[in-house]
């Protein structure tokens, strides 16, 4: 009997070319598909909630696949983990209705961007944060971060050359936290354009350094000019924390 299995996945993106397989390297999706194919003894096609770039991490990526199998739902997790490298971990495996689609049914996603803010870099965070040795004004960063909340045309917050049917997105909430030398930016939204979170993070870093004004966010939302914003922050600071689905699964 064909079932639809929803996976919650954590991965360290350091050694992969992102979620989706690229011509120049292996993607996390393919590694999981291959592991599932070995376990299920059939070809597996995995649908992820969305792509993550090379070097980007996930603590709660969601994906689903259809398979004809009798393995108990919780044992699928165990079997997959036994067939996966240690930098990819299946946190959960559950049966969902056949019509469930990780990508199209996603209601909102939360990302976290991590900044290591200290005079000296930390060897243990080099792949999990962007290193900023300058003093950052957290108050200004917080104020600027709040300005992205709401339904806006985020065209200015998108990597050049990327395609999207519409560039209107809704950001539900933002939050900034400091723990020791780590500054964490949390953002929850209906969806994000390509590089949107990293452009927000790069702009907030510039605001924190005093290189950009808080008002650059409003100006960019209005004028849609990418040039008003800061650089795209490095991928290794970005984590996909969770994907939420409204329906009970």
Q: Does 122 bind a second copy (CB under 8 A)?
A: yes
Q: Which helix (H) or strand (E) holds 189?
A: strand 182-189
Catalytic status, residue 53: yes
| Residues near a second copy (CB under 8 A), total | 20
The string of DSSP letters for 67-131 reads: EE--S-HHHHHHHHHHTS-TTEEEEEEEEE-TT--TTTTEEEEEEEEEEEESSS--GGGTTTSEE
Of 100, 111, 113, 128, the residue at the interface with a second copy (CB under 8 A) is 128
Shortest spacing between CB 121 and a second copy, in angstroms? 6
Stretch that binds a second copy, among 10-18, 103-111, 196-204, 207-215 (CB under 8 A): 10-18
Shortest spacing between CB 122 and a second copy, in angstroms? 7
CA angle 233, 180, 157 (to 5 degrees): 20
Q: Are 225 and 153 in contact (CB under 8 A)?
A: no
User: Which x/- pattern, by CB under 8 A, does the window 56-85 give for a second copy?
Assistant: -x-------------------x---x----
Stretch that binds a second copy, among 4-12, 41-49, 137-145, 227-235 (CB under 8 A): 4-12
70 burial via Cβ count (<10 Å: 0-12, 13-18, 19+): exposed
Identify which of residues 128 and 194 has a Cβ nearer to a second copy in the complex.
Answer: 128
Residue 88 CA to residue 232 CA, distance in Å, equals 26
- Tell me the catalytic residues: 53
Chain residues in the site for a second copy (CB under 8 A): 10-12, 57, 77, 81, 86-91, 120-124, 126, 128, 131
């Amino acid at each position: 009997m064909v079932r639809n299995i929803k996976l919650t996945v954590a991965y360290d993106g350091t050694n992969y070319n992102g979620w989706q397989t690229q011509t120049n390297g292996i993607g996390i999706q393919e590694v999981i598909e291959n592991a599932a194919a070995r376990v299920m003894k059939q070809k597996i096609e995995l649908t992820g909630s969305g792509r993550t770039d090379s070097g980007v991490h996930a603590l709660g990526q969601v994906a689903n696949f259809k398979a004809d199998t009798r393995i108990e739902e919780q044992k699928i997790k165990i079997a997959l983990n036994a067939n996966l490298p240690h930098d990819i971990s299946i946190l959960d495996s559950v049966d969902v209705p056949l019509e469930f689609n990780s990508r199209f049914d996603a209601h909102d996603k939360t990302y976290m961007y991590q900044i290591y803010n200290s005079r000296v870099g930390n060897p243990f965070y080099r792949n999990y944060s962007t290193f900023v040795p300058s003093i950052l004004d957290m108050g200004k960063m917080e104020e600027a971060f709040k300005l992205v909340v709401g339904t806006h045309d985020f065209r200015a917050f998108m990597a050049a050359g990327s395609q999207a049917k519409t560039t209107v997105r809704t950001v539900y909430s933002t939050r900034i936290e400091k723990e020791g030398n780590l500054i964490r930016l949390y953002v929850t939204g209906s969806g994000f354009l390509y590089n949107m979170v990293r452009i927000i993070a790069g702009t907030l870093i510039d605001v924190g350094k005093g290189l950009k004004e808080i008002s650059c966010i409003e100006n960019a939302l209005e004028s849609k000019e990418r040039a008003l914003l800061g650089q795209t922050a490095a991928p290794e600071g970005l984590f996909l924390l969770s994907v939420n689905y409204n329906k009970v699964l």
